[in-house]
Amino acid sequence: MHNKKFNSLANSYLIYVGVAIASGGVALYTPLIVSETGKNFSGFWAASILFGLNLGRVIGSFAGSRFSRAVNHPLMVCGNIFLEGIALYCMAFLQQAWALALFAVLAGFGSGLSFPGLKNYLLKLRDLDQSSLFSRLAFAIRMGLVSGYLLASWVPHESLRLVFLIVLITFIAYGIFMLIAMRAISKHEKEYLTMHTATVQQEIQAGELKTNSINKNIAAANHRAHELPILFYLSNAMFWCFAIQPMIGFSLHIPKFTPDIPVSTPFWISALVIIFFQIPISKRAIRIRDHFRFLQIGYACLFLSFLLMFVFTRSSSAVITSAILLSFGQVFYGPSLDVLTARFADKTSADTGKLMSKQMLYQSMGNMVGSLTGGILFDLSQHFNSPRLNWLLLAIASVIMVILSKSKIPRLYRQAGNIQSST
């Protein structure tokens, strides 16, 4: 049913604007708190902030996958957004490194619970293309990050309370935009389901459907395991484990081996590449096999990026080109993975919120492990006096995932849902 009073596009943009505002807040505080913690305590405690954020997301995503109906209620999604903002604001008043890490876990917990709910509500906008939904979401996130970096250039960093007050305001705005959109989407969804149920009942009464046959098909479908293969989730974790390497690897590599460029260069380049190319590239994937091809291209971009760093370790141009390749990896990989998860849920009548929470769980695990791995690999390469070693190991691991994503992962995906490659 199409409700003329309901505008799917307008509500999707309410969500995008809210996400962009909150992403700006994230870009404002993250470099600052990591830098300040490293300066006042140590690199380990600085890394613990990022680790704590992703640990919280893992815990939140796991809880969301177990209690998806409860956490996807509009008030719960909004409450978890406010939880993240308040936890971040409290960090301005903390003096101990362990307390910062603890509140980072709490902020990550709110994020891990709310973000899958956001995707779930986007997917309820059935008259909008799924590929466009997720590519625009990625675009909004990057636009917010760039805005946050620009804002950080004139906000006085010496006043942590002012910085985190701005962050809190961005999350309050995010929560309000989300609540308005979710209430409208929920009302429209209720009307849609009412009309859909009435239509099915009319078809049954007219003899166009055989109830027994339908029940048997539903029972058979429910009997099958409507779970994505574990390798699909692990490949997602591995991708983000690699994709987060610029946050750590480049930040450590540039001052030591390519000091002629600013440390922030890879971050600006990554954001701008995704902003310009995310939507036009994502629109080119239509069928399931197209999206799996995009996953493979995403991994291939990571491999080429790490290979380039291995060959031209001390070249500033190689660092910039490598950052561009890493950005294209995310352009190809991110939205296609979301679409594949959503289409699996559609085909198997699985709980979309639960699948999105589980996807977020593994993505957060990848970010969590990757943030520590980047530092460990860099230290390992310094220990052996080989600045190429960490890039070599990353290149080898990523080429293995290129091979697996070519046939193994798509085959397991289709077997799990009996989905034809031409869909």
Give the pLDDT of residue 111: 92
- With a CB cutoff of 8 Å and minimum separation 6, the contacts of 19 are 118, 137, 140, 141, 144, 174
In this predicted structure, the answer to whether residue 304 has a pLDDT above a threshold of 60 is yes
Give the pLDDT of residue 208: 52
CA 197 to chain centroid: 34
Concatenating the DSSP letter of every residue in 5-67 gives T--HHHHHHHHHHHHHHHHHHHHHHHHHHHHHHHHHT-HHHHHHHHHHHHHHHHHHHHHHHHS
Give the pLDDT of residue 264: 67
Q: How far is CA 191 from CA 37, 185, 187, 204, in A?
A: 51, 10, 6, 20
User: Mean pLDDT across the stretch 165-169?
Assistant: 95
Residue 224: how many CB atoms within 10 A of its CB? 11
User: Mean pLDDT across the stretch 387-395?
Assistant: 90
Q: What angle do CA 279, 283, 284 make, to 5 degrees?
A: 130
Whether 92 and 99 have beta carbons less than 8 Å apart is answered as no
Give the pLDDT of residue 25: 92
* pLDDT tens-digit readout, 79-111: 999 999 999 999 999 989 899 999 999 999 999
Give the pLDDT of residue 72: 85
The widest CA-to-CA distance across the chain, in whole angstroms, is: 78
* pLDDT tens-digit readout, 356-379: 878 888 988 898 888 778 777 878
According to the per-residue pLDDT averaged within each range, which of 70-74, 197-201, 352-356, 390-394 is highest?
A: 390-394
Query: Mean pLDDT of all residues in the chain?
Result: 83
* pLDDT tens-digit readout, 169-219: 999 999 999 999 999 998 888 876 666 565 555 555 555 544 444 444 444
* pLDDT tens-digit readout, 239-250: 999 888 766 677
- Which residue has better confidence, 335 or 247? 335
Give the pLDDT of residue 223: 40
Give the pLDDT of residue 41: 79
- Which residue has better confidence, 36 or 307? 307
Only one residue has tokens 């943009």, namely 13
Q: How many CA atoms lie within 13 A of 391 on its CB side?
A: 22
